[in-house]
A and B are shown apart, each in its own frame.
Chain A
């Protein structure tokens, strides 16, 4: 194996730089050619016959998604923490009935006398799971019955269907997306199950469904709202703590809700632009 020790490197520094330059130029030319080619490919893909089946009004029959802008409201002054919404959502949407996969959940904030930080629990707290008696059942336990409670309230949570969703941003394949009517959906037949979106959501709204091996989250019951119904959680709430409606309709419940209350959103500093509007939460609500 005759080797390089006897051959002087013919290149030298200038030669090396010129070669590097040529390499860069070639790479640049090749990649531009390639990207132009790819653009052409994409254009061809876009003009395929599929376009005819999918009109601008949206792919859902008898529903024009350009006409709606959905939003959700939560009135925490009314929520009684009955958890009917949590159960209804699981039944409606085939969510596994266990204590760690939720499309929506309820948190309780309890301030005790002499303390300025709240005790927070949800239906997934071990004490509450024990009180419920089975993993299929959800309730809040009566753990503060002997304590001096100064202030306490419930905060229902769900996917915020953000304006700039970080979960959509990080999906490597385009399996999650935001529709023109403002709903963030997941394509279960396309998701590869990498769980990057689960990490990216600042609100913990997403979970990994072990059965389908894809991620899942609240869809505002898209299959209901496109038929003129309300999401299941809104439908079953007995005290009108959840409000849903069309921002494009000035007389809708959600617009009425926004007009008549001081509204806040969760984690506004993230810049996500959430579309679930809360009334009555305080600064300790995470």
Chain B
């Protein structure tokens, strides 16, 4: 009996002494743990943080289509992990640390842009094997604004750099007369099943017309129309509609 009493006393004593002080404050856990977890310094920083260190690149990036791709997606990919290769000072002042340069763009860019099963159609994708004869992506695309070449020329999806340069809006307007019948005189369609074209994005229109042309997008009317257009025509008419006002809707 005394033995049991001794054991009980030891047990109660242990219960008083051993549990951590911050246990049971909010629930069945240590409150101190929440504080510790929340106090960890973030690694990824807002891309704005790099605008001072890299003003030119930041200006290009923040106005281009790649503004949704944070700096550290491509530049951090050059590093493996905080565990493997800690960058000196990265935790304290990431914005003043040099962003590592990605090496092989052909293995980096294709992670998003390779055409594979499952990738939705809205995403620009290429067949890696047959695209640009194995050149580095950065040969033709400015990585901070890839719709433009590193020299600043616009790249049309159907044509590529050097296939004609900038679009001819006037020529596009002339071609658009044929579209008015279904899509409306100012690119605003009155018929429910025919979409508006006004202020639609140029790359999208180029892609759509190209797909109609190849049959990837099946439509008897548009297929016939698109087959009559050259790559330059497609680029021009797309640029024209893209330039129309978004304000008019009816």
Contacts and interface: CB of A to CB of B under 8 A. Distances in A.
Chains A and B touch each other in the complex, with CB atoms below 8 Å apart: yes
Contacts of A142: 114-116, 128
B27 interface: yes
Given A90-B81, A108-B118, A109-B118, A44 B16 contact: yes
B134 interface: no
Interface SS of B by simple majority: loop
Interface in B189-212: none
Contacts of B77: 87
Interface of B: 8, 12, 15-16, 19-44, 46, 68-70, 72-73, 76-77, 79-84, 107, 111-112, 114-120, 123, 128
Interface in A146-162: 147, 149, 152-154
A90 B107 CA distance: 20
Interface stretch (A14-22, A173-181, A195-203, A243-251): A173-181
Nearest to B123: A80
Contact of A223 (B31, B41, B79, B117): B41
Main secondary structure of the interface of A (DSSP, over half): loop
20 contacts: A38-B15, A78-B120, A84-B73, A91-B79, A136-B81, A142-B114, A144-B117, A174-B30, A177-B28, A180-B26, A188-B33, A190-B30, A219-B37, A222-B34, A223-B42, A224-B42, A236-B44, A238-B68, A238-B73, A238-B112
A66 to B, nearest CB: 11
Contacts of A144: 116-117
Interface of A: 30, 34, 37-38, 41-42, 44-46, 48-51, 53-54, 58-61, 63, 77-84, 87-88, 90-92, 94-97, 108-110, 133, 136, 139-142, 144-145, 147, 149, 152-154, 174-177, 179-180, 185, 187-190, 219, 221-224, 226-227, 229, 232, 235-236, 238-240
A92 B42 contact: yes
Contacts of A95: 81
Contact of A140 (B76, B80, B116, B123): B116
B34 to A, nearest CB: 5
Nearest to B84: A97
B15 A41 contact: yes
Contact of B80 (A30, A79, A136, A236): A136
B44 A82 contact: no
A77 B123 CA distance: 11
B20 to A, nearest CB: 8
Nearest to B19: A45
A80 B44 contact: no
A46 B26 contact: no
Contacts of A174: 23, 28-30
Contact of A91 (B35, B82, B111): B82
Contacts of B83: 94, 96-97
Contacts of B25: 46, 50-51, 54, 59
B189 to A, nearest CB: 24
B35 to A, nearest CB: 4
A180 B117 CA distance: 41
A110 B118 contact: yes
